[in-house]
């Protein structure tokens, strides 16, 4: 019984990913260049897939790197992708380079986030966004979605809360879909959807991007954000990181953060 249970486990896992991506067996088989019959046998446990087959199906299903390791383990194979800790010497060059980018982005805010939107690192300019937040929300790990939408966080200062709330929740739902239903992200979604939003409708963006508009002691601040990832990651931890940089959306915000002068001039 032990030898037959393993293929059923990997088969069920692959079927779950296929259904999560809303693909029929025929569609997946065509995209992966395998027979529908063989795929059916894999999913129902009658055939044990090779590691090469698992990775081929995972690529078509856009399974994240860390989840590919889980599929390989379920199929009885060793994980393919390494997963070092943030402080591991193997990642020192990468982390040093990313931290240099974060610092160079000052005087504008920049953060390094993981796939759960927990802050890994940030520059000092982030203080402009965190003013007035409850200290408990600033205890590590700091989750930026929770911090933004919690009634004791940024939400009291966000001028377009309905719009920004809808933007963040949309991003969160997209991440849940891409990860195949990450339980931590699902719990975060349920939490933030329960926060009050002052009854404001989401509204339509008033420009090409969704802006974050904040009240501050020096007047309104308006930002747009840019998210970027490292190209061609070969490590699960690196694959989970993304850089979130905030740029001023108007001259007054630029001047406020640069001490009254425009650094671009």
Is residue 256 classed as helix, strand or coil in its secondary structure?
Answer: helix
> Domains plus CATH for the chain?
2-74 (1.10.260.40), 89-257 (3.30.450.180)
Q: Alpha-carbon distance 44 to 41, whole Å?
A: 5
pLDDT in tens, the chain (265 residues): 333 443 448 999 999 999 999 999 999 999 999 999 999 999 999 999 999 999 999 999 999 999 999 999 999 999 999 999 999 999 999 999 999 999 999 999 999 999 999 999 999 999 888 888 999 999 999 999 999 999 999 999 999 999 999 999 999 999 999 998 899 999 999 999 999 877 677 766 667 789 999 999 889 999 999 999 998 889 999 999 999 999 999 999 999 998 755 544 4
- Supply the pLDDT for residue 255: 94
- DSSP conformation letters of 159-216: TTHHHHHHHHHHHHHHHHHHTT--HHHHHHHHHHHTS--TT------SSSSPPEEE--
- Supply the pLDDT for residue 4: 40
Main-chain dihedrals φ then ψ at residue 242, nearest 5 degrees? -145, 150
- Supply the pLDDT for residue 52: 96
């Amino acid at each position: 019984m032990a030898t037959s249970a393993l293929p059923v486990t990997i088969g069920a896992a692959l079927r779950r990913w296929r259904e999560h991506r809303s693909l029929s067996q025929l569609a997946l088989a065509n995209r992966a260049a395998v027979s529908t019959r063989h795929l059916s046998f894999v999913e129902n446990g009658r055939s044990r897939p090779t590691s090469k087959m698992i990775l081929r199906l995972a690529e078509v299903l856009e399974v994240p790197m860390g989840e590919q390791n889980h599929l390989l383990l379920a199929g009885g194979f060793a994980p393919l992708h390494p997963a070092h800790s943030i402080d591991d010497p193997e990642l020192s060059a990468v982390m040093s380079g990313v931290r240099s980018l974060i610092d160079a982005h000052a005087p504008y805010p920049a953060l390094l986030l993981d796939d759960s939107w927990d802050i890994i690192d940030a520059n000092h300019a982030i203080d402009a966004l965190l003013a007035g937040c409850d200290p408990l929300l600033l205890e590590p790990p700091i989750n930026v979605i929770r911090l933004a939408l919690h009634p004791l966080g940024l939400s009291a200062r966000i001028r377009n809360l309905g719009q920004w709330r809808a933007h963040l929740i949309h991003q969160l739902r997209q991440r849940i879909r891409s990860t195949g239903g990450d339980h931590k992200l699902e719990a975060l979604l349920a939490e933030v959807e329960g926060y009050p939003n002052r009854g404001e409708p989401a509204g339509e963006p008033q420009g090409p991007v969704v802006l974050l508009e904040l009240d501050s002691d020096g007047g309104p601040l308006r930002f747009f954000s840019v998210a970027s990832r490292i190209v061609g990651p070969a490590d699960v931890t690196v694959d989970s990181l993304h850089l979130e940089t905030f740029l001023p959306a108007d001259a007054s915000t630029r001047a406020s953060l640069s001490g009254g002068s425009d650094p671009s001039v």
